[in-house]
Amino acid sequence: MKYETVIGLEVHVELATKSKIFCSCSAHSYGADPNAHVCPACCGMPGMLPVVNKRVVDYGMKAGLMLNCHINRTTTFDKKSYYYPDLPAAYQTTQWFAPVAVNGLVEIETSKGKKGVRIKQIHMEEDAGKLVHDIREDTTHVDFNRTSVPLIEIVSQPDLSSAEEVEAYLERLKTLLRFAKVAECEMAHGTMRCDVNLSVRPEGSDKLGVRAEMKNMNSIEAIKRAIEYETARHIDAIENGTEVLRQETRRWDDIKGKSYAMRTKETAGDYRYFPDPNVMPVVIDDEWFDSIKASLPELPEVKRARYTDEYGLSDYDAEQLTKSIALCECFEKAYEVCGNAKDVANWIISEAMSILNVRKMTYDMLDVDGKALGELINLVSGGKVSRVNGKKILSAMFDDPHIDPAKYAESNGYVVSNDTGLIEKVVAQVIAGDPKAVSDFKGGKEKALMSLFGRCMKELKGNCDPQVLRTILIDAINAL
């Protein structure tokens, strides 16, 4: 018999707000000392009251709109109770009754074509802390840096049917949320996490099979492996009766390549959800809603089409530039200043992107001001700065995003000189110092000229029109 896999995902995404969801502690603790970013509020101490960070609602709304959701104009927070040492107040403030966004749709594309994945809801909530186990001392330590860092949980309908589709869906979520600048979505940093709900049924059946929920997958590769393993396990159980399938939560062990039962439905706790009386319902009025709507970015595929149609870029260039919102914004701003799309595309693709690669930075981390890049391109194309020195200036702009290219060129001696007197003087010095090269060139060795040319250019610090230098150099040799 043929089977089909039915998959729904619960994706947790850390929102990139500066501070936590209910207090003013920094929300960014990646690499920080344990308990460096905590206060009585996010430690759950009695007497502190939650005050909603409005930015979190902004970001939650943005995420909802990016995923074509309906926004609940009155959205409320609820308490979810459970005991675990990493949850200091023994409840998590989340959204149970009226989440910020519902009923969305995300389009994905796989080898089988395009497909819509329905979004059940997106809710905002606070993250829990982390437990650190010390095996030598047989003790466990609690780090509350991550408690109350804002998250959204994106719950899909069970519309996915393969590892390939899951990967496409997750990549699409990343792109949409990164373009809206609401989240980093880096699984390796834990800023995107994914639980997989999976069941298997005979192909064509309209009845769902027994569902397993899998946790603890730390990469898309691990998710794909887990889906393949779990699908095989379910089919084996159905076909060969190797085990009785139960509705349960399973933990994925990526090293062993196996999943293990954590808890069954019967032993699952009761979370005792109820409205949080300390957080007033958040009412999103038209003004607020409209301002968020107006701040949404153009989708990458729309930008791509515009870059080829409007700016006449090649498909390859458009594809490269739309790899991150930072690249797009830099391109668009630079274009506004210099008006030459192809030139800007070349500078970004062959210069800026390779600097990012060398520095092991992601395309989202580009921090160069597009306006300044446009000015730099104008300096180079106008012959005021040589291309070689232009690259040096760009590199400096990576180190300090406030650099003004013209001033920087000036103060670092990168301005092309029109002083032919100076060029003639340098040329005279260089040829006088290497009579062998001069005679080699005269004897027909083209390479010798290149060597002399290079030394002159070096003396002139590159601030010279190569054509002018070449002419003066040849003239000088011929005049000997």
Partner 1 sequence: MKLFATKIDTTSERTMVVDDMILTKDTPTTAGSKMLDGYVSLFEAEALTRLKNAGYALCGKANVGEFAIDLLGETSQNGKIVSGGKLINASAEIVSSGEATIAITLDVNGSVRRAAAQSGLVSIKPTYGTVSRYGTIPVACSGETVSVMAKSADTCREVLGAIAGHDDKDGTSLSEELCARVKQNESAPRKVALLKSMTVGVDGEVAEKLNAFIALLTDNGVEVCEIDDEVIATSRIAWNILMSAELCNNVSRYDGVKYGYRAQNFSNIDELYTNSRTEAFGELLKTAIIFGSETLSTENYMKVYDKALRMRRVIVEAFAKIFESFDAVLLPACSTLAYTEETVSANKYLAFEENLYTAPASVSGLPAVVAGGVQLIGKAFSDSALLELAKLLEKEGK
Decide whether 80 or 174 has the Cβ nearer to partner 1.
80
- Neighbour count for residue 253 (Cβ, 10 Å): 14
Nearer to partner 1, 35 or 362 (CB): 35
Cα separation, 281 vs 98, whole angstroms: 9
In the bound state with partner 1, the residue whose beta carbon lies nearer, of 74 and 467, is 74
Least distance CB 17 / partner 1 (angstroms) = 17
Tell me the residue length of the chain. 480
User: What is the spatial distance between Cα 241 and Cα 244, in angstroms, rounded to a whole number?
Assistant: 7
Nearest approach, Cβ of residue 47 and partner 1 (Å): 5
Classify residue 401 as exposed, middle or buried by CB count within 10 Å of its CB (0-12, 13-18, 19+). Answer: exposed
Judged by CB, which is closer to partner 1: 20, or 304?
20
- Of 141 and 293, the one with the shorter C-beta distance to partner 1 is 141
Separation CA 22–CA 27 (nearest Å): 11
Kindly tell me which of 276 and 332 has the beta carbon lying closer to partner 1: 276
Pick the closer one to partner 1 by CB: 47 or 421.
47
Strand order in the sheet with 101-110: 70-71, 101-110, 113-126, 150-156, 3-14, 192-202, 212-217, 248-253, 258-264
Residue 260 CB, shortest distance to partner 1, in Å, is 20
Q: Could you give the C-alpha distances from 9 to 109, 118, 195, in angstroms and in order?
A: 17, 11, 6
d(CA 242, CA 236): 6
Task: Tell me how far apart the alpha carbons of residues 374 and 338 are, in angstroms, rounded to a whole number.
Answer: 5
CB of 164 to partner 1, least distance (A): 37
CB of 269 to partner 1, least distance (A): 10
* Contacting residues toward partner 1, per CB under 8 A: 40, 43-52, 79, 81, 83, 85, 88-91, 142, 270, 272-275, 277-280
Contacts of 269 (CB under 8 A, 6+ apart): 82
Min dist CB 161 to partner 1, Å, is 31
CB of 408 to partner 1, least distance (A): 44
